[in-house]
Structure 1
């Protein structure tokens, strides 16, 4: 049984005066009568306390995605810019200069080169021959050695790139100097010119390449092949 306040009757049992807008306030004798109101208040408090946590959980996934993207970008930049002490050590070693094996045994293409007067010269009309490409090196001493060792009936032909003919006739033996404006012979060999090095082809009278010398060297390295062209 509750005790009403003294609405219009003054204070009751020592309770302080309450604002009149609160209306009639009844204080129950048993606190259990307020259990329902207390439960409602606790639910409201839990709901209010849970709202900030829900917001943080909603932001957790976007923040995680942003963090992963940031870390990936930073790692990628470090991988690109990080100095490598052995940066040059892991590069593959260039393959040695050598013409394709298929060149040997193939017929020499029917190429027209030019002489010092820019007149066309059919290359196959000079066979058998040792043809020396001197677009990387004129190598006069090596050309002279080849001309001196060539048997009778075997021509020694020097070929430069472009239209300018470089004549290198060694003493005691004529060497036919030609130019290859179209670069067909160098293309047939399949390797670019190398500075300081001359490339030679030995071609028999049937027009078949019997040997390719990627770097023309001492005469002893190919003397037997050169002699065989005159047989």
Structure 2
């Protein structure tokens, strides 16, 4: 009887622990959900159909400090971007201070018009701005070189260009207070495939991610552009995925 009770108690505790490890998912619209990552960061995941890939979930990030926030990447469509902005400002009372774009692809920039129409400053690297304009698309308003540090309240936001990988312009963003790295499509979720490599530099991808590892060795949480967030093992996984391409250079 004692063994049975111990077994049941163990299963109950394990179940509670498992649930606690799962991020809370909140559906705020038909094609957009929020996933709590840390006390002050939330992943926004939006869904749209991309030709050749079907319905795809794309990750962005929200960093909250007091009553203000910064968003990283727009949701994948104008509609889901408007829904996210309305939820944050009208329903939750946040002021959106800025939005930072990870790279020039549609899953990062589709909602820029909607963001800028509300007077929210948008940031991207010089490479991203130039590529958006070359594609005939709306570009971020503020551009920076290799690094741009923003402030949200008294907290730092480190935006850093480590080199080409998924695209020639992809950056990463590190939040020191949360130990969160938003890697975007440069970083692969565990078990993922290569995905869209049309604009990639395969030979330099692993080197670029290793540069991120050296720059931010204290990272705890890593958010990829698609799939589930994880820890530093996502960086190792990505380096390994493109290691053979590096050997071919």
TM-score by length of structure 1 reads 0.26
Q: Tell me: higher relative CO, structure 1 or 2? Use CA pairs within 8 A at least 6 residues apart.
A: 1
Higher helix share: 1
TM-score by length of structure 2 reads 0.24
Larger Rg computed on CA atoms? 1
